[in-house]
Amino acid sequence: MLRNGLEPWHLLVLAIVVIVLFGSKKLPDTARALGRSMRILKSEAKAMKEETGTEDTAPTPVEPPPATRG
């Protein structure tokens, strides 16, 4: 049954179903909203990666050596 996953005709049928369900007028707005969401997700993931990267490379405070008795 599922030998190679999706074949080209599967994608064609899926595209037709999406056009029928949402209509051709809503598709550009939906695609635009999806693009914005992906951009926001990408920028947030990058910010989180930079935030965790700076914590790892931050210098650790050095304690002075213990005083000797003498």
Task: Round to whole Å and give the CA distance between 6 and 1.
Answer: 11
Q: Mean pLDDT, 10 residues at a time, over the chain (70 residues)?
A: 72 89 84 94 93 65 69
What's the pLDDT score for residue 30? Answer: 85
> Would 46 be classed as within a structural domain?
yes
Residues spanned by the domain of 38: 23-53
In a domain, 41, yes or no: yes
16 falls within a domain: no
Instruction: Classify residue 36: in a domain, yes or no.
Output: yes
13 domain residue, yes or no: no
Number of Cα atoms under 13 Å in the Cβ half of residue 26: 6
Q: Is residue 7 part of a domain?
A: no
Look at residue 54 in the predicted model and tell me its pLDDT. Answer: 62
Give the predicted TM-score (pTM) of the model. Answer: 0.47
- Tally the domains of the chain: 1
CB within 8 Å of 27: residues ≥ 6 apart: 18, 19
What residue type is assigned to position 32 of the chain? R
Asked if residue 43 belongs to a domain, the reply is yes
Q: Note the pLDDT tens digit of each residue in 15-27.
A: 899 888 888 888 8
